[in-house]
Amino acid sequence: GQNIDQPTEMTATEGAIVQINCTYQTSGFNGLFWYQQHAGEAPTFLSYNVLDGLEEKGRFSSFLSRSKGYSYLLLKELQMKDSASYLCAVYRLGTYKYIFGTGTRLKVLA
């Protein structure tokens, strides 16, 4: 299967920390990607995990556990501009497909 599950919506306060979870059931896993998409715009790449563990990139970090089929995106020191949809995507080896979840709409409140 290739189900990817993410929460539909989340709300957080400016300056806070938020964790967006993603679970997947897919065989032939080769990488997990996180993208940010502002309304009406194209997705932009945030982070990528192939191996288990935490990848840190400024205010954004992403974690992967391949055995659990689980990833999360951690956003620190939230800013209003972080209000966007966050898409989790899985690449399946040999299929050339990046399979996207439905995205999590994050609202950052002042």
Partner 1 sequence: DAGVTQSPTHLIKTRGQQVTLRCSPKSGHDTVSWYQQALGQGPQFIFQYYEEEERQRGNFPDRFSGHQFPNYSSELNVNALLLGDSALYLCASSHIGQGRQGSSVGELFFGEGSRLTVL
Distance (Å, rounded) from C-alpha 61 to C-alpha 55?
Answer: 5
Which residue stretch of 10-18, 19-27, 41-49, 68-76 sits at the interface with partner 1 (rule: CB under 8 A)?
A: 41-49
Question: Residue 84 CB, nearest distance to partner 1 (Å)?
Answer: 13
Counting residues that bind partner 1 (by CB under 8 A) gives 27
Which H or E run contains 103? Answer: none
Q: Residue 36 interacts with partner 1 (CB under 8 A)?
A: no
Distance (Å, rounded) from C-alpha 74 to C-alpha 61?
Answer: 5
Distance (Å, rounded) from C-alpha 24 to C-alpha 32?
Answer: 10
Which residue stretch of 14-22, 38-46, 72-80 sits at the interface with partner 1 (rule: CB under 8 A)?
A: 38-46
Q: Residue 41 interacts with partner 1 (CB under 8 A)?
A: yes
Residue 44 in 3-state DSSP? strand
Residue type, 81: K
Q: Residue 67 interacts with partner 1 (CB under 8 A)?
A: no
> Do strands 9-13 and 104-109 pair parallel, antiparallel, or not at all (unpaired)?
parallel
**Contacts with partner 1, residue ranges (CB under 8 A):** 4, 30-31, 33, 35, 41-45, 48-51, 87, 89, 91, 93, 95-103
